[in-house]
Amino acid sequence: MVIDAHGHYTTVPPGLRVFRALQISQMGKPVKSPVNISDDEIRASLEKGQLRLLDERGIDVMIFSPMASAMGHHFGNALISRYWTEVNNELIHRVCTLYPNRFAGACSLPQSPGVSPRDCAQELERCVNEFGFVACNLNPDPSGGYWTGPPLGDEWWYPLYERLEALDVPAMIHASATCNPAFHTTGSHYLNVDATAFLQLMESRVFRDFPRLRIVMPHGGGNVPYQAARYRALAIMNKWEPFDDFVKRIYFDTTVYNQDAMELLIKVVGVDNIIFASEMLGGVNTTDPASGQSFDDNRRFIDAISWLSDADRQKIFETNARKVYARLGAVTAGA
Amino acid sequence: MVIDAHGHYTTVPPGLRVFRALQISQMGKPVKSPVNISDDEIRASLEKGQLRLLDERGIDVMIFSPMASAMGHHFGNALISRYWTEVNNELIHRVCTLYPNRFAGACSLPQSPGVSPRDCAQELERCVNEFGFVACNLNPDPSGGYWTGPPLGDEWWYPLYERLEALDVPAMIHASATCNPAFHTTGSHYLNVDATAFLQLMESRVFRDFPRLRIVMPHGGGNVPYQAARYRALAIMNKWEPFDDFVKRIYFDTTVYNQDAMELLIKVVGVDNIIFASEMLGGVNTTDPASGQSFDDNRRFIDAISWLSDADRQKIFETNARKVYARLGAVTAGA
């Protein structure tokens, strides 16, 4: 079985954007109005897109979450964020209900700048306990590129980590759009957030305080495999846990898109901490002119690595994901 | 000849810190008081450190600039930044005067949040025309991690680019310390700044408007070689210049610290755009337990690459630097 741990509902029907647009006119008095999307619209939005590609590429199950760039935690107040997050998660639940063996849900959290992560617990519990979701996405910078909040090592985040451990679900680190003109959302901002979060955790005691917490780094860890020696030196100079031990506390997805990067990633992190993912349809939704294939058709890079055994590949494609996404069993049983 | 394009005066005598400390008590009325450092102190600060290592490692000339983390553009107002920058640059000038064939100067700029880069022109000209400096360091985020200024593609920066072209000197992109607790200065912040600057330039028309502008990316480009396929896809999706053309407009230093990273860097960027540098003594000033050698003794990784020719190595160690740092001739003539 092949599990893809990183897909967003980027092909969402227009009814969701209608809801979002109305939030601008309701900023003073937010309302959770109904979202007007039919089951047929959901089917159409997936069957030409993600489902077709999953079939073509031999991927059985995708862990599916709301559009990341549209999470927009920087917009409006906590109630705006809550309503928007809820309707997005409810839509993912409808997707998972329509295709129970192809998609497993991962929720967004109703984060908002300056609002305690404790206030996300209720929505996380609803998604896991009522909807059967298997993970959440955690945005380390809800300000959208101004970095006004405490780092992930701060106890500010601990109530959320407690709930993640109690519910036995992992968090994928994932930024949303930046509202800061210094950054490009899916270019510099996403990758900066990954690298920043990695270092925030590295200089923290989070994994000592939450030994069962599971964190997934997207985009192949931003810069981590390439800058491994720098991190290795910093850990020595700062008397942190050695890099090569610390890196095993985190799981890295494979959303990098050429052979060299994929090999470097797996070599630095090790097969036990790699989880297959394509992030399709997402940040690199176009054809590589060099190969004539889609950039995000990245399974082929793993298949082509001569120094991986079949057992290694099974870990990357399936077993590691089952370990990290412990609640995935119900979904994959039927696939 | 071997030229190292990236060294900071990190072993500076305490007299400079005395000046800096006094700036805190003078914030309301900044003063450019004398800096109390003797020539013997300067010699002692270098001969046990950078000079000894340059000799040990067979490096002839180092392009030498003030401590990057201490540039601290976020601290105080424009006049505080100006005085601090001036005394740092004057100290680099003294170093270059004491060791005229070993060090070539690169200046800091008196940047300050919200202050036009136009106001840096005078200090840049002083350093190049009066001191014989060959380059400057440009901080894309003088706010120190809050990213409150315009991106490098904004015309805000154009007066500085005009001066760089007119003076025929390059700018190395280099952050200073972060005052934002979200970041680690030499870890996440430096590397984020590199990647962010790369993308700011990539989505801009800077190199069309300044075809003779030369920009050097430190730290092996942050994440650029590892995430090349992502940048490649983004360029296609956004109709920017193709990544593999754009990357040739920029020069990358070699301050990465293991074999795999060095090979990936040179492979992605190409030998014509790589400039040898070690950033010693700097961010990775410790011994790699795996090899027993200093992390920043990174010349050996280039020497070990079997697919580089002698002509390639000469470009990386010498010729590319002479091209980019066009005013280096006077220094290297005597070396």
Backbone φ and ψ for B119, nearest 5 degrees, come out as -75, -5
Kindly state whether B199 is in contact with chain A, defined as any CB-CB distance less than 8 angstroms: yes
Backbone φ and ψ for B170, nearest 5 degrees, come out as -90, 165
Q: Which residue on chain B is closest to A150 by alpha carbon?
A: B182
Could you give the CA distance from residue B257 to residue B295 in angstroms, rounded to a whole number? 6
The complex scores an ipTM of 0.97
- The token pair that represents A212 in the structure block: 């069962």
Percent of chain A at pLDDT exceeding 70 = 99
Kindly state whether B244 is in contact with chain A, defined as any CB-CB distance less than 8 angstroms: no
- Mean pLDDT, range A248-268, rounded to an integer: 98
Of the residues A143, A180, A223, the best mutation for testing chain B's interface (the one with the most B CB atoms within 10 Å of its CB) is A223
A14-48 residue pLDDT tens: 999 999 999 999 999 999 999 999 999 999 999 99
Q: Is the pTM higher than 0.90?
A: yes
* Interface contacts (A, B; CB < 8 Å): 185
Q: Which residues between 254 and 273 in chain A have a beta carbon less than 8 angstroms from any beta carbon of chain B?
A: 256-258, 260-261, 264, 267-268
Q: Three-state SS for A215? A: strand
Q: How confident is the model at residue A334 (pLDDT cuts 50, 70, 90)?
A: low
Tell me whether residue B279 is one of the annotated catalytic residues: yes
Question: What is the DSSP pairing of strand A250-253 with strand B3-9?
Answer: unpaired
Closest of B105, B106, B122 to residue B159, by C-alpha:
B122
Kindly state whether B147 is in contact with chain A, defined as any CB-CB distance less than 8 angstroms: yes
Q: Is residue A147 within a helix (H) or strand (E), and if so which, with residue range?
A: none
pLDDT at position B330 over 90: no
A135-176 residue pLDDT tens: 999 999 999 999 999 999 999 999 999 999 999 999 999 999
Q: Which residues between 151 and 170 in chain A have a beta carbon less than 8 angstroms from any beta carbon of chain B?
A: 151, 154
Closest of B209, B78, B71, B234 to residue B140, by C-alpha:
B71
Q: Which residue on chain B is closest to A152 by alpha carbon?
A: B182
User: Given an 8 Å threshold on Cβ–Cβ distance, is A192 in contact with B192?
Assistant: yes
Could you give the CA distance from residue A119 to residue A198 in angstroms, rounded to a whole number? 24
If one counts every other C-beta atom within 10 angstroms of the C-beta of residue B212, the result is: 10
Query: What order do you get walking across the sheet with A274-275 strand by strand?
Result: A3-9, A61-66, A103-107, A135-138, A171-173, A215-217, A250-253, A274-275
* Closest by Cβ to A256, choosing from B192, B229, B256: B229
Q: So what's the pLDDT on residue A216? A: 98
- The token pair that represents A280 in the structure block: 């399709």
Could you give the CA distance from residue B237 to residue B203 in angstroms, rounded to a whole number? 12
User: Given an 8 Å threshold on Cβ–Cβ distance, is A261 in contact with B219?
Assistant: no
- Write the DSSP assignment of B303-322 as a string of letters: HT-TT--HHHHHIIIIIHHH
B34-74 residue pLDDT tens: 999 999 999 999 999 999 999 999 999 999 999 999 999 99
Q: Three-state SS for A287? A: strand
**Which residues of chain B are within 8 Å of residue A292 when distances are taken between CB atoms?**
none
Backbone φ and ψ for B318, nearest 5 degrees, come out as -140, -60
Q: So what's the pLDDT on residue A54? A: 97
Could you give the CA distance from residue B125 to residue B323 in angstroms, rounded to a whole number? 20
User: Given an 8 Å threshold on Cβ–Cβ distance, is B234 in contact with A195?
Assistant: no
- The token pair that represents B90 in the structure block: 């004057």
- Mean pLDDT, range A101-108, rounded to an integer: 98
* Closest by Cβ to A284, choosing from B182, B186, B230: B230
A294-320 residue pLDDT tens: 999 999 999 999 999 999 999 999 999
- How close is the nearest chain B Cα to the Cα of A122, in Å? 26
Q: Which residues between 268 and 327 in chain B have a beta carbon less than 8 angstroms from any beta carbon of chain A?
A: 268, 283-289, 295
Give the C-alpha distances (Å, rounded to integers) separating B78 from A182, B6, B277: 21, 26, 31
**B86, B263, B279, B318: the active-site residue:** B279
Percent of chain A at pLDDT exceeding 90 = 97
**A86, A123, A279, A318: the active-site residue:** A279
Cα angle value B237/B242/B244 (rounded, 5°):
135
- The token pair that represents A249 in the structure block: 């506390």
Q: How confident is the model at residue A335 (pLDDT cuts 50, 70, 90)?
A: low
Q: Are A203 and A218 in contact (CB under 8 A)?
A: no
Backbone φ and ψ for A5, nearest 5 degrees, come out as -90, 5
Could you give the CA distance from residue A332 to residue A321 in angstroms, rounded to a whole number? 11
Give just the sign of the alpha carbon dihedral A199, A168, A220, A302: positive
Of the residues A188, A189, A200, A300, the best mutation for testing chain B's interface (the one with the most B CB atoms within 10 Å of its CB) is A188
User: Given an 8 Å threshold on Cβ–Cβ distance, is B196 in contact with A182?
Assistant: yes
Q: How confident is the model at residue A332 (pLDDT cuts 50, 70, 90)?
A: confident
Could you give the CA distance from residue B144 to residue B179 in angstroms, rounded to a whole number? 5
A82-100 residue pLDDT tens: 999 999 999 999 999 999 9
